Structure 1
Amino acid sequence: MEPSDLPLPQLRAFVVLAEELHFGAAAARLGIAQPPLSQQIRRLEDRVGYPLFTRGPRGVALTPAGEALLPAARSTLTTLAEALVAARAVGEGRAGSLRIGFAASLGLTVLPTLLRRFRERFPDVRLQIQETTTAPQLAALRDRSLDVGLLREPGDDDPELAFRTVLTEPFVAVLPAGHLYAGRERVAVADLEDSPFVLPPRHVGPRLHDQILGLCTDAGFTARIAQHAVEWQTVCALVEAGLGVAVAPASIARIRLEGVVFRPLDADLRTRVAVGWHRDRHGPLVDHLLAVLGT
């Protein structure tokens, strides 16, 4: 019979009596009367099949069977206590694992500050960070392989997911350094009509893609897309190589390439960055992350 098969109150009574070697002192420590303590010890001895203590006028002493049981009994109680502490910490959101998805461009804005502040407040939470674009993040939030997502233009019409806006930002023109309008302080969207475009494909972020094309439509032309690239870093590299121009969220200007310039656009439209989570998975860790984002 393993100690884990034994009733825990009997194990605790046994360990305390083994440490005190006095029924009165052990009962006082346990907060019970001596008769219930004696009953617990007798039941345990019945289960073991051998006496665990010798009783005499000078008190009690462990038998060889009791000495053999004591280390495992202590270990069982310690393991349980540690497990209860760990479970309480996870339940309160002070420990556990939080899986966070983020769009690559947000590594240039909200992500570093968010992670630093969260780790300062909850150092025992293990963060699993996954860089991925908006559409795969939405799918991962729905199937619960991500707990939280930082996304661009996720929309608000998903019945399974909830979103909260983190920030909005304007758009900029991404131009090769030798472009005709690279020296301007500000660029009109219409000025880009004759230039080929480099953009992320629509499937990775449909709403953002449609916003950019919508800016062109509102300016009176249809963007001619010459090249697609999933990541904004690659988009900028292709612009530097002379394959076209791009329209991008303003935070992309933090990417430093010698052959690329970023110029504000004359458009009022702003792009939205949001945090998203599954409506049925709003546990304490997600609450804590939302609280950090709100500070």
Structure 2
Amino acid sequence: MERHEIEAFLVLAEELHFRRTGERLGLAHGRVSQTIRRLEHRLGVTLFERTSRHVALTPAGRQFRDDLAPAYRRIQEAVARAVASGKGVTGTLRVGFSSQWAADLLIKATDVFRARYPDCAVQIQEVQLSDPFGPLRANAFDPQLTEFPVAEPDLVAGPVLFSEPRALIMPAQHPFARRESVGLEDLARTPLVSVSGDIPQYWIDYHYPRQTPGGRPIAHGATAVYWMEELSLVAAGRGVSPTALRAAQYHSRPGIVFVPFRDAPPIEYGLVWPRNGVTARVRSFIETVSEVASGSDDGSGPAA
């Protein structure tokens, strides 16, 4: 049997419709019909009952499908393993993420990646707020998905994969808490809870600015090392803190409110990896995540 005959039979056995089968295989439905007739002639058995309105497997066709499908899947898996091995896409890939919404995209991409490269395991783990690039430099992660900007000479920042609108986290009793939105100039009127640790100053200045676009100073108060600590400081009335608006879907809790910005640029996210650490599996994973983020793998796009 030829490969195209096996594929035509198995897809038709699933769809039970010549036009849909042709669409999946990129063939005219007449070509599918010819292929099935040749296969039946070669085997000497009728595999499908056909009428103008109905296509169904015969008992012999059902038995042939049940015998053939598992064997064909094993062949496909063996081919995928051979290709992956030839490309070096084996072993374990360790991937970091900076937020739960970034993790959602990585989990979705990992499912696609593992189907393509079954001999490569993927482990994902959260990156701590206080040391965003330390694990990459320590080889604890291969790539990681994180907030931009990233301007490190030993790291490569890929293209922006997705972006999120900004919000301001504040205590539930804050004067801004009942507003529909806040503006960047409002930051001059309330202390800012920021972060501390081994974090580049340009990154802190971008996400936790010290002055408004109009030049008014922004007071910095308490600092947090971990994300949950930041939420607790805000709830305790120690200040407000900017974040992605989507954080409200994951971290809403009594005592805090998420109010969207009306004039702040979105937070951009992308993959980052060591400049000297690009392996075949890293490159393949980067390509897969990019496809999933854009929706080009299956049309479903990034996690919502």
User: Residue 259 of structure 1 is aligned with which of 230, 234, 255?
Assistant: 255
Output the CA distance in 2 between the equivalents of 1:138 and 1:216.
26
Distance 1:233 1:139, change over 3 A: closer
> Higher mean Cα deviation, 220-229 or 206-215?
206-215
In the other structure, the counterpart of 2:121 is 126
Distance 1:145 1:229, change over 3 A: same
Shift of 1:181: 1.5
Output the CA distance in 2 between the equivalents of 1:282 and 1:120.
21
Q: Secondary structure at the match of 1:214?
A: coil
Shift of 1:186: 0.8
Instruction: Note if 1:204 corresponds to 2:199.
Output: yes
Instruction: Note if 1:183 corresponds to 2:178.
Output: yes
Distance 1:138 1:125, change over 3 A: same
> Higher mean Cα deviation, 277-286 or 139-148?
139-148
Q: Secondary structure at the match of 1:112?
A: helix
Q: Secondary structure at the match of 2:237?
A: coil
Q: Secondary structure at the match of 1:199?
A: strand
Question: Does the 8 A contact of 2:210 with 2:217 survive in 1?
Answer: no
Shift of 1:257: 0.9
Give runs of aligned pairs for residues 144-183 of structure 1, distance below 5 A: 144-156=139-151, 158-183=153-178
Instruction: Note if 1:271 corresponds to 2:260.
Output: no
Q: Secondary structure at the match of 1:294?
A: helix
Shift of 1:265: 1.0
Shift of 1:142: 3.9
| RMSD of Structure 2 on Structure 1 (CA) | 3.0
Instruction: Note if 1:226 corresponds to 2:213.
Output: no
In the other structure, the counterpart of 1:95 is 90
Amino acid at match of 2:246: S
Distance 1:90 1:219, change over 3 A: farther
What whole-Å deviation, never above 9, does each CA across 1:244-269 have from its counterpart, x for those lacking one?
11111233222121222111113242
Q: Secondary structure at the match of 1:203?
A: coil
Q: Secondary structure at the match of 1:204?
A: coil
User: Residue 110 of structure 2 is aligned with which of 112, 115, 119?
Assistant: 115
Shift of 1:140: 3.7
* Count of residues in correspondence between the two structures: 211
- Unpaired runs of 5+ residues, structure 2, are 1-79, 292-304
Distance 1:163 1:119, change over 3 A: same
Q: Secondary structure at the match of 1:244?
A: coil
Shift of 1:169: 2.4
> Higher mean Cα deviation, 137-146 or 223-232?
137-146
Output the CA distance in 2 between the equivalents of 1:116 and 1:230.
32
TM-score (norm 2): 0.59
Shift of 1:238: 2.0
Output the CA distance in 1 between the equivalents of 2:146 and 2:112.
19
Identity %: 27
Q: Secondary structure at the match of 1:151?
A: strand
In the other structure, the counterpart of 2:76 is none
Output the CA distance in 2 between the equivalents of 1:231 and 1:220.
29
Distance 1:135 1:246, change over 3 A: closer
Shift of 1:167: 1.9
Query: Larger C-alpha radius of gyration, 1 or 2?
Result: 1
Output the CA distance in 2 between the equivalents of 1:225 and 1:215.
7
Question: Does the 8 A contact of 2:84 with 2:117 survive in 1?
Answer: no
Shift of 1:166: 1.8
What whole-Å deviation, never above 9, does each CA across 1:148-185 have from its counterpart, x for those lacking one?
12122242452553533222223211111121121111
Amino acid at match of 2:237: G
Instruction: Note if 1:282 corresponds to 2:278.
Output: yes
Distance 1:207 1:86, change over 3 A: same
What whole-Å deviation, never above 9, does each CA across 1:12-49 have from its counterpart, x for those lacking one?
xxxxxxxxxxxxxxxxxxxxxxxxxxxxxxxxxxxxxx
Question: Does the 8 A contact of 1:98 with 1:125 survive in 2?
Answer: yes
Amino acid at match of 2:95: I
- Unpaired runs of 5+ residues, structure 1, are 1-84
* Structure 1 segments of 4+ aligned residues over 6 angstroms from their partners: 85-88
